[in-house]
Amino acid sequence: MKFVHIADVHFDVPFSTLAKNNLANERRLEQRRVFKQVIEYIAKNDIDHLFICGDLYEHEYIKQSTIEYINNLFKEIPNTKIYIVPGNHDPKIKDSYYNQFEFSKNVFIFDEEIQKNSEEEVDIYGFGFNNFYRKSINLGDIKIQNPNKINILLTHTSLDASEKEEMQYNPISKKELKKLGFDYIALGHIHKPYYNEENNQKIVYPGSLISLGFDELGKHGMIVGKIEKDKKLEIAFVPVDKKEFVEKELEITSMLSQDEIIEKINSLEDESNIYIKIILTGKRSFPIDTNEIQKQIKNQSIIKVKNCTTIKIDIEELAKHNNLKGIFIKNMLEKINEENKEEILKAIEIGLEAM
């Protein structure tokens, strides 16, 4: 049995990072192109199943025309069975398209309760979101009914959630999940791919289909797999997003002015296949206005400039001066200890910059 596993497409997401550069619409067209590429791969390679594990679209922003576009692509692979579990961004609530729209006959959409869909060689279990938040499920309620068949589980989850926020998104223990005995567990929600990181890995995140911003660096795409009962699971990550979000550091300690920074940035090669965030590092001896720098950048690949520099100052020397800056520094240094040292030094920097 051959399958493709994707998640977190987020159709019609606003792409706020790109909005200032008028690139948001371009990126949404990329979403369409990449999703079409997935469908074309499935058709060309006779893939039996497509698993979509949550956040296919953004409930708040999705347009019916986009849903129709998605569904028309589903119709192009009528021999592929498509299974969708709603996620926290596309929950199966009353007014969702999962309830209001008639999808192609080869599409099955799971509810919030555990459901099983039986085929000749495989039983596919799944459950999704019926709201924008979901408490953890009782894994004891999931019982494999026919161990002699291939058994697959689909859901959208925050695996081994430790942060309070992530505990609201169907948190599940990886250790407990392994005990269930499934041959493959297809997950969504985490935008970073997680596959082949342990021996014969069966619990897999494909990551987001395309990168949504600078918090999602690296390659993005789909998981392609082949599974046979009692044989080794074969899975591979196939990149499909032609563009990447990348970060590049620019050390400015030796530079003498903001104009020099702008000149250096404008000398960088314009790369059409990446979005770049420039991170300014080092010690500065002049004010930096990232908004002004951004206006002067000619390189269309550069989307954002972030200032992570520190002021080039001699604190001990300034503390000797009997002026406002000196008094301020002396008072701050009196408060310093091993626990708050970094915070106090940062506060001094901010205060001096304000002065």
Helix (H) or strand (E) holding 296: helix 290-296
pTM (2 d.p.): 0.85
Cβ atoms of residues 48 and 5 within 8 Å: no
Helix (H) or strand (E) holding 245: strand 244-251
Confidence at residue 140, expressed as pLDDT on a 0 to 100 scale: 84
Residue-wise pLDDT tens digits, 170-181: 999 999 999 999
Cβ atoms of residues 130 and 162 within 8 Å: no
Rounded Cα distance between 86 and 172, Å, is 16
Confidence at residue 235, expressed as pLDDT on a 0 to 100 scale: 95
Rounded Cα distance between 21 and 80, Å, is 39
Rounded Cα distance between 289 and 40, Å, is 46
Rounded Cα distance between 178 and 203, Å, is 8
Question: Which regions in the chain score pLDDT beneath 50?
Answer: none
Confidence at residue 178, expressed as pLDDT on a 0 to 100 scale: 93
Lookup result for tokens 């300014």: 280
Beta-ladder partners of 235: 225
Rounded Cα distance between 144 and 335, Å, is 62
Overall size of the chain counted in residues: 355
Rounded Cα distance between 101 and 74, Å, is 14
Cβ atoms of residues 284 and 312 within 8 Å: yes
Cβ atoms of residues 345 and 332 within 8 Å: no
Confidence at residue 20, expressed as pLDDT on a 0 to 100 scale: 65
Rounded Cα distance between 40 and 9, Å, is 16
Residue-wise pLDDT tens digits, 179-231: 999 999 999 999 999 998 888 899 999 999 999 989 899 999 999 999 998 88
Confidence at residue 19, expressed as pLDDT on a 0 to 100 scale: 72
Rounded Cα distance between 54 and 186, Å, is 10
Rounded Cα distance between 294 and 265, Å, is 10
Q: How far is CA 281 from CA 120, 151, 249, 278, 309, in A?
A: 59, 51, 7, 10, 5
Task: Report the phi/psi class of residue 196: left, alpha or beta, with left for phi > 0 and alpha for psi in -120 to 50.
Answer: left
Residue (of 158, 212, 161, 235) closest to 190 by Cα position: 158
Residue-wise pLDDT tens digits, 275-300: 999 999 998 888 889 999 998 998 88
Lookup result for tokens 């000149």: 263
Rounded Cα distance between 318 and 347, Å, is 15
- According to DSSP, residue 5 is labeled E
By three-state DSSP, how is residue 216 classified?
Answer: coil
Confidence at residue 67, expressed as pLDDT on a 0 to 100 scale: 98
Beta-ladder partners of 224: 4, 236
User: Can you state the angle between helices 64-75 and 24-44, rounded to 10 degrees?
Assistant: 20
**What are the chain's domains?**
2-239 (3.60.21.10), 244-354 (no CATH)
Confidence at residue 163, expressed as pLDDT on a 0 to 100 scale: 78
